[in-house]
């Protein structure tokens, strides 16, 4: 029911904030190397959003694994975050690890230069790609999407704490509607259950695709808000499984944590498309906010 | 209550099947390169068990990140499986990606030679290591361990289908006691819920440690047995978070899947120690058995 709304206003692929933000161009002289420009509009906290970086890295790898192997789509991608990215130019260094018949595996590093000219690796990722359109149609998923009110009865992300919003440029690029049951933290009464969920689409109406799901998996406020912890949760590692191409329209994203201990937490995300299909699952290990 | 039993018979570290199976020695001439001997006793299906391979790779990386950085323990490790390993010699090529104050990140490839002399990369992993002993004591975990009967009232893995046992040498190295509620498949009546859980320890009594948890996360029968699918489920990607050093004694391991679709499934594992602490969480993307 939501897909019509989104399609009515959909920005054209290639001419959207997300496509510009994750655009890569081949280096003229170095095979397998791509250039990108990290846009400060995707900033959150001390750096560029980890999901946007992952989508950019994944786009470079998609170019490499599509040509020759016919494997344009990430099935699984695991990123290890090494240092905070800054707005400005970056290069993506890809390596094809293995080309196979049904899947291929590659590696990609996102690298920037520090002001002093030294090389700073921001993230490194391994990934296995395939062709989502070539997969069989069978769906025996036992998971069911969480139930929440429709987007127009949910809470805009502008209700987040002002300290958070001040460092979350990213939120202007997203249309994020949070389940009222999960935003007690905005009123000073976090539920304590460790859940945040809501509807998500890109603010300019650009419909989701496999690369956009990588952003979706890391774009809700930290699940620790629901535990009453409002600091930042820097990601050490983020793995996303993309299981199907999403239908047009709203995504339903649910974040949970079950294991906050020893200064770290895991954060699981499930991303459902407008037909109710579970199209992506992710887990990250993040540093917990200091109490 | 189980820890005493295990400690009574505990094999000495270094002189156990697991320590021998995952032993690595520095290459005399090439810094960062280690040698190992893959033992057919850890075979399952068409290759060496993925968890054992991961523990071996992690041991090499632990050597590199302990010296210099003081980071001996994997916090998160993500392995991409490239081809089936065979019993015999292998080399581990490590790279230190980043040395940090609280954590360091590395990469490792496990490589064998094919009979024709060509190089075959079996797996490549990225990982972030730290020092589990240095973490704060806070535990706010909301997850609770599953309830199941004590080990002596559970079902030995020798009840698995004969076709499975014939290719599962690994099971002789493990003392695996499955929850009777999850072994309907052994009697031809799988529950269909997508869950397998049980008690696990090493058959020779060797107590668990962080590297052994990497094996534990991938050593139960495939969760697809509980869905009535008895073929193999080759792992594309396996990420394990090690969250604490396990106490001596039995581990409780729970495997679940929520999303079997398009020829693939995710398999989540939780590993609890004998004190009831959630010490490891893992997720893998695996190819579903062909119907």
The CATH number given to whatever domain includes residue A54 is: 2.40.160.210
Q: How many residues does chain B have?
A: 291
- Within 8 A of B137 by CB-CB distance, chain A residues are 262
Any domain includes A228: yes
Higher pLDDT, B46 or B169: B169
Strand B119-130 and strand A260-261: the pairing is: unpaired
Dihedral pair phi/psi, residue B186, rounded to 5°: -70, -20
| Regions of chain A with pLDDT less than 50 | 1-9
Instruction: Give the contacts of A83 (CB within 8 A, at least 6 positions apart).
Output: A120, A121, A122, B98
Q: Is A68 helix (H, G, I), strand (E, B) or coil?
A: coil
Q: List pLDDT tens digits, range B107-154.
A: 999 999 999 999 999 999 999 999 999 999 899 999 999 999 999 999
Say if B141 is an interface residue toward chain A (CB within 8 Å): yes
Residues 6+ apart with CB under 8 A from B103: A236, B71, B75, B128, B129, B130
Is A263 at the interface with chain B, CB within 8 A? Answer: yes
Count other Cβ atoms within 10 Å, centred on residue A165: 15
Which pLDDT does position A274 carry in this prediction?
97
Q: Is residue A140 part of a domain?
A: no
Return phi, psi of residue B115, to 5°. Answer: -55, -30
Helix ranges (DSSP H) in chain B: 3-8, 17-21, 50-66, 162-165, 210-216
d(CA A196, CA A199): 11
Q: Inform me whether the pLDDT recorded for B158 exceeds 80.
A: no
Contacts of B244 in chain A (CB under 8 A): 261-262
Closest residue to A105, CB basis, from B76, B82, B243? B82
| Antiparallel, parallel or unpaired: β B33-38 and B73-81 | unpaired
Q: Which domain holds residue A106?
A: 3-133+145-287
Residue B7 has pLDDT above 50, yes or no: no
Q: Does B227 touch chain A (CB under 8 A)?
A: yes
Number of neighbouring beta carbons within 10 Å of residue B168: 19
Q: Does some domain include residue B32? A: yes
Using an 8 Å CB-CB cutoff, list chain A residues near B103.
Answer: 236
Residue A142 near chain B (CB below 8 Å): yes
Domain count, chain A: 1
Chain B residues within an 8 Å CB radius of A258: 141-143, 278, 281
Strand partners, B267: B284
Least confident of A20-34, A175-189, B7-21, B33-47: B7-21
Residue B88 pLDDT > 80: yes
Nearest Cα residue to B185 out of B280, B289, B259 = B289
Position B168 scores a pLDDT of 86
- Is B1 within 8 Å of chain A by CB? no
Q: Which residues of B touch A94 (CB under 8 A)?
A: none
B189 against B239, higher pLDDT: B239
**Using CA atoms, how far apart are residues A235 and A189, in angstroms rounded to an integer?**
25
- pLDDT tens track for A217-274: 999 888 898 898 888 899 999 999 999 999 999 999 999 999 999 999 999 999 999 9
Residue B290: which pLDDT band, with cuts at 50, 70 and 90? Answer: confident
Specify the pLDDT at position A291: 65
Q: What is the ipTM of this complex?
A: 0.94
Residue B21 located in a structural domain: yes
Q: Inform me whether the C-beta atom of residue B148 falls under 8 Å from chain A C-beta atoms.
A: no
Using the Cβ of A132 and the Cβ atoms of chain B, whether some distance falls under 8 Å is answered with yes
How confident is the prediction for chain B on average, in pLDDT? 92
Choosing among B119, B136, B140, which should be mutated to test the A contact, i.e. which has the most A CBs within 10 A? B140
> How many beta-carbon contacts under 8 Å exist across A and B?
163
pLDDT value for B291: 65
CB contact under 8 A, A128 and B236: yes
Has residue B139 been placed in a domain? no
pLDDT at residue B64 above 50? yes
Does B140 map to a domain? no
**Burial, A99: exposed, middle or buried (Cβ in 10 Å; 0-12, 13-18, 19+)?**
middle
* Cβ partners under 8 Å of residue B270, min gap 6: B143, B253, B254, B278, B280, B281
Total residue length of chain A: 291
Residues 32-91 of chain B with CB under 8 A from chain A are 75-76, 78, 80, 82-83
């Amino acid at each position: 029911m939501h897909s019509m709304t989104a399609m009515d206003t959909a920005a054209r692929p290639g001419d959207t904030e997300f496509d510009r933000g994750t655009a890569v161009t081949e280096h003229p002289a170095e095979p397998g190397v791509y250039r990108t420009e990290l846009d400060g509009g995707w900033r959150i906290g001390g750096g560029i959003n980890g999901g946007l970086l992952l989508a950019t890295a994944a786009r470079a790898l998609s170019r490499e694994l599509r040509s020759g192997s016919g494997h344009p789509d990430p099935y699984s991608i695991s990123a290890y975050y090494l240092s905070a990215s800054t707005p400005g130019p970056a290069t993506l260094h890809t390596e094809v690890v293995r080309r196979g018949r049904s899947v291929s595996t590659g590696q990609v590093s996102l690298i920037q230069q520090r002001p002093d000219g030294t090389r700073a690796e921001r993230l490194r990722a391994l990934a296995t790609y395939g062709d989502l359109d070539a997969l069989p149609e069978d769906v025996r998923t036992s998971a069911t999407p969480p139930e929440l009110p429709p987007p127009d009865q949910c809470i805009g992300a502008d209700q987040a704490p002002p300290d958070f919003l001040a460092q979350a440029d990213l939120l202007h690029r997203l249309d994020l509607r949070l389940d009222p049951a999960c935003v007690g933290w905005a009123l000073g009464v976090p539920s304590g259950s460790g859940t945040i969920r809501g509807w998500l689409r890109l603010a300019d109406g650009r419909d989701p695709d496999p690369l956009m799901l990588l952003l979706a998996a890391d774009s809700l406020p930290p699940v620790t808000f629901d535990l009453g912890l409002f600091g930042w949760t820097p990601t050490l590692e983020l793995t996303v499984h993309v299981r199907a191409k999403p239908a047009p329209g709203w995504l339903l994203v649910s974040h949970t944590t079950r294991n906050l201990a020893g200064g770290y937490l895991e954060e699981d995300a499930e991303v459902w498309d407008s037909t109710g299909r579970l199209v992506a699952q992710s887990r990250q290990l993040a540093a917990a906010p200091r109490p």
